[in-house]
Structure 1
Amino acid sequence: MAYLAIVLSFTAVGLLLGLVVVLTMLPSRYVKKHSPTASKEESAVSVQVLVLGDIGRSPRMQYHALSIARHGGSVDLIGYLESTPHPDLLSNPRIKIYPLATPPSLLKSSSLPFIISGPLKVLWQIWTLVHVLGYQTPPARWLLVQNPPSIPTLAIALLVSILRNTHLMIDWHNYGWTILAGTKGRNHPFVQISKAYECALGQAAPTANVTVTHAMKRQLERAPYNVTAPIHVLHDRPAAIFHPLKSLSDRKDFLERLPETRDFASNILAGDTRLIVSSTSWTPDEDFSLLLDALVTYAKQPQQQQQQQQQDTSCPIIAIITGKGPQKAFYEGKIRELQKTGRLPNIRILTAWLSMEDYANLLRCADLGICLHMSSSGVDLPMKVVDMFGSGLPVAAYSGYESFDELVKEGVNGLGFETADKLAAILKRLFSNEGLAELRTLGEGAKKESNLRWDEEWDRILGRVLGVMD
């Protein structure tokens, strides 16, 4: 009996010590400063902004951070540092960047099957997210998280928000499960699990939500998502760095400076060669072959002209494709083959990775923007078109999804296509003498669209929700 009492006593002490250890290991919790003597810095709204991706290639999350800081809030911006972020982020004293450690190269290698590398990569992400969100950063009033990716982001964000007394806001750019379905099919077990996970976390996790379109808001409110927390629609708008061309001399200076356009600058400026720009992440949800096939069709001479041995009357095109991604090398090989076999006469396709400043300059100096984004959910919108409009650049964009007309107004600021032949027809028409007036009209529409800026939209929709505005 005495032995049992001793064992129970030691067990109780052990459990108590274990509880103390666990409690001391829990992350610190957010406590609102109520004291009237608290300084402005101490009472400022604090926000963690999380993107489980490259910060430099996540413009919307960067703009969130800048808007919060502009109103006196403090921001801890968390994500991968694979490319240079927006320059204003780096110079703003209210914004601190916390880089996430990238997974080991072995987990990104194709030598490991997905069934092994996938779970290991998720475990790595769980560890780094918990470490940075829970312990490396101070507790914040809000945690604003980008979705997708959903796994493991939403679950870790929910856990941390509970442990740290933080409000959670999900910014829905798209759905993780529909992106996964693009490569594995909608009936794949991983896709079905991902869908159930995303629906469950969408219902349980957020204090509030933000969506990029009204169509997405309506979808989230219905089955199978059934999100009951408030949903605010915040359309993407361009940041200040994207603005229309101020003078023709600025266009001349930039085209003559940029390596990709230097040799063609005089022809572009004279209107003898057209400059088109497309930004892509080189992923399966953007079918780059649409543009290649359209350019091949555009470059073909009509049969009658071939028989008469007349020179091709199609206006020469310089196409600059910006961005990084997994399919870039594959398509660069296809481009070289098309050029080598003479199927792209009078057309040069160049790939580039530009700084934010040079990319903005390129957009405002181009004749037409091309967007190949195919919405996996049918209800998201491409940020690249927003940046093009901000620069006063009209677009030809893939239009086969529900929310397309929330951004592109057919015949007003751009044109839609769903096939390579339709895109080729658009290029032939706009770059002909007869199409100059139409191209000018679309340009004027894009410039009007550029008057709708991110700051005004963000202030109206989110400023008071996050508490940085009265």
Structure 2
Amino acid sequence: MYFGPSRYKYPKQDATPDEKRVSVQVLVLGDLGRSPRMTYHALSIAKHGGRVDLIGYLENPLYSAVSEHPNITIHALPPPPKKPASLPFLLFAPWKVLLQIYHLTQLLTYGLPPSRWLLVQNPPSIPTLLVAALVCKARHTALMIDWHNYGWTILSSTRLGGASHPLVSVAKAYECLLGRLGTYNLTVTDAMARQLREPPYSIASPTMTVHDRPAAVFRPLDDASRRGEALTSLFRQSMITNKLLPSVVDGATRLLVSSTSWTPDEDFGLLLDALVEYASHSGPEAALPPLLVIITGKGPQKAMYLDRIHTLTKAGRLPNVTVESVFLPFADYATLLSCAELGVCLHRSSSGVDLPMKVVDMFGAGLPVAAYSGYESFGELVREGDNGCGFETADELADILRRLLGQGGRGELDVLRRGAVREGSRRWDEEWDGTVGPILGLV
């Protein structure tokens, strides 16, 4: 990396066509492999002829269309430090933030040429918004903030035990103040866009909703007869329990999918309790079919929940229920969704106004969902009885599983599947071209 004075100049009036192309730096202070919305932004810009510097951590493989596109250059940030188990969070966090400030500042000011736009994911807001605002001011770059959620609400729910903690108050004030410095703001829901215009955010710059939409890789099976072939290939490659394959293919065993980052904002205890409840009513006399539940993803609470699943299984509390945990490449994950019969989403919104991308992907694959519904923006994506069902308790989820997967449930499940296909028919390219593309001068 080059650390001396910047060698780059702004394009001149007599610049070449390549120099006049729209240039955008897309920044994620997180794993690019698990940041689909931001990588979709990068791909859309590139497909319209823009030059993209995609910045973030490289922990998991990227969607191949992104990593292989000639207009996208990927810049991997140094991996963030790991917190020692003995070191308190309040001591570790400042050191981590200082390192992130250093790495971001070096790359954005010395390692890359000035760009026309800097598109930043929020959260995390600390230190991203501060560094981005200062760099944009110094380099005459327009700052676009893509609001996925609020950093202070995540901090409140996962680290410090409540909104009353002084550090949560500081984080909230920081995010509200720095969030006003964006030239444009994008949000994932209408409810979030409305909140940002009101106190305490009071953002005056243009703010628009850009709903998450599925990428082209998420498609319903165009031929139901291909399901067996797709499942056979998937089970073999992913080491999913092959002994269940014949009964999954013929529908005797029903296939459920849930994807997760294994973080505290998804209470997998709800799903496990619901599965125990379902299993207690299954068996030869109960007319409830066996289940194969596949959980995909990586994250900090994975080992804890896998231990709990093992304990429940060993204790005989999950008869006729098999739970598998796998991490799949992007294309295989899309195939799995298209082959499943029901998706389960346990996302709990810390702010009440964000939405889970995993449900968008499920709809893109034509998969109806059962999703946690206890937050304001839920209805912007999931419509009860049309493309999915909502629940807030394990008993409610267990009732949904019994109703949709038991005898007589196929009719309702088919209705929900048709609704999921309709919802997933509007794709990311169509959404982006009508909103972000004109702002960047690419459409």
TM-score between both structures, scaled by the size of structure 1: 0.90
Match of 1:269 in 2: 249
Does residue 46 (structure 1) correspond to residue 23 (structure 2)? The answer is yes
Equivalent of 1:176 in 151, 159, 165: 151
Match of 1:159 in 2: 134
- Match of 2:378, as an amino acid? F
Equivalent of 1:255 in 212, 224, 231: 231
Equivalent of 1:60 in 37, 45, 48: 37
- Match of 1:458, as an amino acid? W
Segments of 5+ residues of structure 2 without an aligned counterpart are none
How do 1:270-289 and structure 2 match up within 5 A? 270-289=250-269
RMSD between aligned alpha carbons?
Answer: 1.5
Distance 1:75 1:288 in 2: 37
Distance 1:159 1:208 in 2: 16
Distance 2:307 2:224 in 1: 35
Match of 2:92 in 1: 117
Q: Aligned residues, how many? A: 435
- State whether residues 299 and 346 of structure 1, in contact with CA within 8 Å, keep that contact through their aligned partners in structure 2: yes
- SS in structure 2 of the partner of residue 128 of structure 1: helix
Match of 2:167 in 1: 190
Structure with the greater alpha carbon radius of gyration: 1
- SS in structure 1 of the partner of residue 119 of structure 2: strand
Match of 1:294 in 2: 274
Distance 2:57 2:290 in 1: 39
Does residue 329 (structure 1) correspond to residue 309 (structure 2)? The answer is no
Match of 2:350 in 1: 376
Match of 2:10 in 1: 31
Match of 1:448 in 2: 422
Match of 2:101 in 1: 126
Match of 1:224 in 2: 200
Does residue 74 (structure 1) correspond to residue 48 (structure 2)? The answer is no
- SS in structure 2 of the partner of residue 403 of structure 1: helix
Distance 1:381 1:28 in 2: 42
- State whether residues 244 and 450 of structure 1, in contact with CA within 8 Å, keep that contact through their aligned partners in structure 2: no
> Shift in Å at residue 312 of structure 1?
4.2
Does residue 431 (structure 1) correspond to residue 408 (structure 2)? The answer is no
Match of 2:76 in 1: 99
Distance 2:204 2:5 in 1: 30
- Match of 2:334, as an amino acid? A
- State whether residues 212 and 235 of structure 1, in contact with CA within 8 Å, keep that contact through their aligned partners in structure 2: yes
Distance 1:332 1:446 in 2: 30
- State whether residues 209 and 229 of structure 1, in contact with CA within 8 Å, keep that contact through their aligned partners in structure 2: yes
> Shift in Å at residue 26 of structure 1?
5.8
> Shift in Å at residue 459 of structure 1?
0.3
> Shift in Å at residue 383 of structure 1?
0.3
Distance 2:211 2:31 in 1: 21
- State whether residues 291 and 420 of structure 1, in contact with CA within 8 Å, keep that contact through their aligned partners in structure 2: yes
TM-score between both structures, scaled by the size of structure 2: 0.96
> Shift in Å at residue 254 of structure 1?
2.1
Deviation per CA, 1:312-365, whole angstroms, max 9, x where unpaired? 432100000011111000000000000000000000011111000100000000
- Match of 2:308, as an amino acid? K
> Shift in Å at residue 432 of structure 1?
1.3
Deviates further, 411-420 or 311-320: 311-320
> Shift in Å at residue 29 of structure 1?
7.0
Equivalent of 2:359 in 360, 376, 385: 385
Where in structure 1 do 4 or more consecutive aligned residues deviate above 3 Å?
Answer: 24-30
Segments of 5+ residues of structure 1 without an aligned counterpart are 1-23
Percent identity of paired positions between Structure 1 and Structure 2 = 58
- Match of 2:119, as an amino acid? L
